Chain A
């Protein structure tokens, strides 16, 4: 049973990391457009080869 004295604080650290990630996500506007990000992965970046110097997404 005494293992919980170690495991629970570790769990709390995970929660803090989770909250940190959530804050970052909100601040970087991930929640501003909910339809968009989910569908983004479907598109191929075919035309990337056309312009090699284009470094944006």
Chain B
């Protein structure tokens, strides 16, 4: 059997037994794993885009998850008032930025572009396969946005409008301007090095003065744009640090560049002394290259995380004076409007229940693991999910005044108050630059009295020879290699200081639901007390829960052996219904007139069949597979772990006991969480906050170092310093080890660079360093630093 037999031709997944679906692709019949893949493949063939299968370098995403639900939701994107949030209106076209899930290679991008450009009304479609985004310009009169999104869906991709986050916008501009500067520096360096080799020839063999001066002038012309344009970031950096009354790496870099250039200029114009144009250009080029690589790694991280910030259309169903229901954008709601919330819907505004009762999932807002019952007059918050029955709300606060908006404001405020952490390089630079300037001044003074005509040249040689090239590469090179390695293992670094902070962590504060636990209820024990065995019992419960979106129901979703009728929700208590004519009742012990027999940290459900006790089922939120090893790993590294959660249930104690956590704060609101972390930070400044919910947003923003779970909420991800992809806690431990190793490598780099400078300094001070010796020394020391840093990327 060939290896790819039994695998779906479209998505490369194993074909389940009993499925026999085939689509003729490229002249032969190919097997498909599901209807979804077959439909997608058929669409591709029918559109004449067979080429896709020929040139793709990665398999397509499985089309299994494409549910019609999502397609219906897309219709909401057509609403004018909803579009205001993310669509740019041109004269006779509209433009939108889409994030597309499932782009695996360049062929996918081609496929989407071809398919969409065939639709009349599409004016421009450009898909970027690296960022997994598309720019779409279309004529609204000819085709609707939802139709375009649906045709992307038919190809097996999931497209949603989204907004880029601020950090990413800044990084994008910075990256482009650095790229331009690097290009100029690179091309100029090539030229200047060529002339430099000719000029070095002059040392061994006398060159006619006219040629020497000619080469110098040409080098001057090429080096000038490098100095004036390419090296700008260093001047600005130096200016900023001087303004803040500190010294950073950019200061010696700027002094060396400007000094070497002015001396060379002086030498060229007067025809005396040495020129250092090649050092100026190459130095700038190498430093820019290091910064660009670092920026690229960071950009990738912020792009991936902001791709997750999808814009979900926020629509509300409003009841007007005449009792008619009408769809409006959530932003248009006013106070005391009455809105309808259907089961499964996200609440668009804060309000009070005026009709009906239901359970609302507030887990992302408060960390509470179970839904909360809201009766008449109960307060419901925007962003929570209605689980059971239709309710009417009287709107109390909209958009900017909602509870969730308050959390976001708290988060922004916390972000701006966050202490800035000085980087290792900058703290070394402070002493180094100071020392260097003192030595240069002393050298000048000494030579001024002994040999005044050489004083300037020797002082300059000191500055150039000790040119902090290796020193300033020491940190960025190591950080770039480590950041790259981290993103490969699953930790996306969004801000520059993450690695340095990660190496110093002494205390970890973690959220519970969704971070240490899976955030999902699972069946733990089934005690059968009646005539039914375990499987039948679970199937009966599954039938009752089939229609519900409640977290309890999700635990039974795989048990679909029976169908129930006459299902009734008893809000906050349980369910009743009929299966095969038998009356069933499921819920709290009190609801079933039984005495509760609780097990610590578990939720008890009682099943009654025909008023007879049939079973007790115990559910609990499972602790993550690697949470125990994570907590042990932290202990082994001497790092303490505390839990800070919004949950107030018995679950907290249970989880804490399992993970041997003694420091617990439960039932904390976002504001309280923020205060707890602020106090803790005073005692242990190297604190790491781990979280996933909306309520963790402010703490994540304020903590010295914060990591959000990859499956967490958008608010958490946008406020954290790093995102843990795949939500595997063990990745964090290996990241800490890598950070420590990075710190060691940086120290080695700095030691080497400082050692080299210490060695060459006395020679330069004595006036016996020639420019080519300085250039060779500089290149070799930089190379050593780069090679050492690359060790981080291995394994």
Footprint of B on A, CB under 8 Å?
A: 1, 4-5, 8, 11-12, 15, 18-19, 22-23, 26, 31-36, 38-40, 42-44, 46-47, 50-51, 54, 56-57
Contacts and interface: CB of A to CB of B under 8 A. Distances in A.
Contacts of B25: none
B190 to A, nearest CB: 8
A43 to B, nearest CB: 5
Nearest to A21: B183
A36 B48 contact: no
A3 to B, nearest CB: 12
Contacts of B48: 46-47, 50
B177 to A, nearest CB: 9
A38 to B, nearest CB: 7
B222 interface: yes
A29 to B, nearest CB: 8
Contacts of A18: 187
Interface in B466-518: none
Contacts of A11: 191
B110 interface: yes
A13 B83 CA distance: 50
B230 to A, nearest CB: 11
A12 B218 contact: yes
A4 B180 contact: no
Contacts of B151: none
A42 B55 CA distance: 7
A28 to B, nearest CB: 11
B179 interface: yes
Nearest to B49: A47
Contacts of B55: 39, 42-43
A39 B107 contact: yes
A8 B192 CA distance: 12
Nearest to A23: B180
A19 B129 contact: no
A24 B102 CA distance: 31
A3 B51 CA distance: 53
B129 A46 contact: no
B129 A12 contact: no
Contacts of B130: 32-36
B199 interface: no
Interface residues of B, number: 34
Given A19-B183, A36-B129, 10 more contacts: A5-B214, A11-B191, A19-B187, A31-B179, A36-B110, A39-B107, A42-B51, A42-B54, A47-B47, A57-B117
Contacts of A34: 130
7 contacts: A22-B187, A26-B183, A33-B129, A39-B106, A43-B110, A54-B117, A56-B117
Nearest to A47: B48
Contacts of B200: none
A50 B114 CA distance: 12
A15 B187 contact: yes
Contacts of B118: 47, 50-51, 54
A38 B109 CA distance: 12
Contacts of B131: 32-33
What 9 A-B pairs have minimum CB-CB distances, sorted nearest first?
A: A39-B106, A47-B48, A33-B128, A22-B183, A36-B106, A33-B130, A42-B55, A35-B106, A36-B129
A15 B187 CA distance: 7
Interface in B10-56: 47-49, 51, 54-55
B191 A15 contact: yes
Given A18-B187, A33-B128, A47-B48, A26 B110 contact: no
Interface string B106-120: 110110001001100
Contact of B110 (A8, A32, A40): A40
Interface in B163-222: 176, 179-180, 183-184, 187-188, 191, 211, 214, 218, 221-222
Nearest to B125: A56
Contacts of B184: 19, 22
Contacts of A32: 128, 130-131
Interface string B121-135: 000100111110000
Nearest to A44: B51
